[in-house]
Amino acid sequence: MKNVKGMNLVLTPHRRANGHGDRCHRQHGISLLFALLALVALSLATLALVRSVDTGTMLMGNIGFKQDVTATADQGTRQAIEWLNANAASLNTDAADGQGYYASTTDLVDVTGRQMLNDSTRALVNWDWDDASLKDCSSATDGSFASCSLKPATGTAVSGNSNSTRYIIFRMCAQTGDYASSTNNCAKPVANSSSSATKKGELNYSDPLRFSGTSGPYYRIIVRAKGARDTTSFTETIVHF
């Protein structure tokens, strides 16, 4: 209070509106926005991690199934070799349907159905020929192949798992009949001779006939193995007797 020429004046302090309270509210709002953005980022990172772990688990599982099926295919190959040994006297002609043996082969056989997709003259293996619920070579597009008449044999079930095998055998000759005939072109081991191996274990490097032996064609064995989750594996083996 001041006395100015007999007048009493009361001075009241005046507060200027500096916007401090509004700035506090704005700062709290921005902090909340950043917190929400951080929460969203963490959520996305967690989701990506879960998906990565899940994908890795599925990948490892698929690899495990693939390895198991491939091991089963080896058993199918053994069974095919046993069939060849048991039927050595009748290998000059095709076997009956369901036995999976053909005494000749051509280059246009597509055993997997995926090797010559653009060649409509290819021949396919009808792996499920005895399944009445499936159309012959149903996995291939109509018109993309010339024939679907090659029928495999069913391998003996392997104990301990539910995997199944089927195999087909091709003698690598141009035609059926005697492979020793001059009119039949067969794939045989290099430098093979039809004479007997009279040299036995003699070490005479000047005489190449020490390695002579009976001639015989190659046999191509293709095995399809199927396992869990419809995992499929194809293996190919070339054998000679």
Residue-wise pLDDT for 214-224, tens only, equals 568 999 999 99
- How high is the pLDDT of residue 152? 94
- Stretch among 12-26, 79-93, 136-150 having the lowest mean pLDDT: 12-26
Q: What is the pLDDT of residue 65?
A: 65
- Six token digits for residue 232: 């499929």
Question: What global pTM score does this model have?
Answer: 0.67
Residue 71 is predicted with a pLDDT of 82
According to the model, what pLDDT value does residue 70 have? 81
219 near 189, Cβ under 8 Å? Answer: no
As given in the structure block, the two tokens for residue 69 are: 């099926």
Parallel, antiparallel, or unpaired: how do β-strands 123-125 and 147-150 relate?
parallel
The token pair that represents 50 in the structure block: 């879960």
User: Which amino acid belongs to residue 19?
Assistant: G
pLDDT mean over 60-66: 60
List C-alpha distances in Å: 23 to 26, 37, 58, 65, 135: 5, 21, 52, 63, 75
pLDDT at position 68: 78
Give one DSSP letter per residue of 72-136, joined into a string: HHHHHHHHHHHHHHHTGGGTTSPPPTTS-EES---TTEESSS-S-TT-TT-EEE-TTTT-TTS-T
pLDDT band of 19, cuts 50, 70, 90: low
**How distant, in Å, are the alpha carbons of 19, 25, 105 from that of 29?**
16, 6, 78
Q: What are phi and psi of 222, to 5 degrees?
A: -115, 130
Query: Does residue 134 or residue 123 have the better pLDDT?
Result: 123
What lies within 8 Å, CB to CB, of 152 at 6+ separation is 100, 125, 126, 127, 129, 166, 167, 168, 224
Rounded Cα distance between 13 and 129, Å, is 103
Q: What is the mean pLDDT of residues 105-122?
A: 87
How high is the pLDDT of residue 138?
Answer: 82
Greater confidence, 120 or 62?
A: 120
Q: Which two tokens stand for residue 90?
A: 């009748």
Higher pLDDT, 136 or 2: 136
Listed by start position, the domains of the chain span 46-239
DSSP E strands: which ranges in the chain?
A: 2-4, 7-9, 101-102, 109-110, 123-125, 147-150, 153-154, 164-171, 218-226, 232-240
| High-pLDDT (> 90) share of the chain, % | 32
Q: What is the pLDDT of residue 16?
A: 52
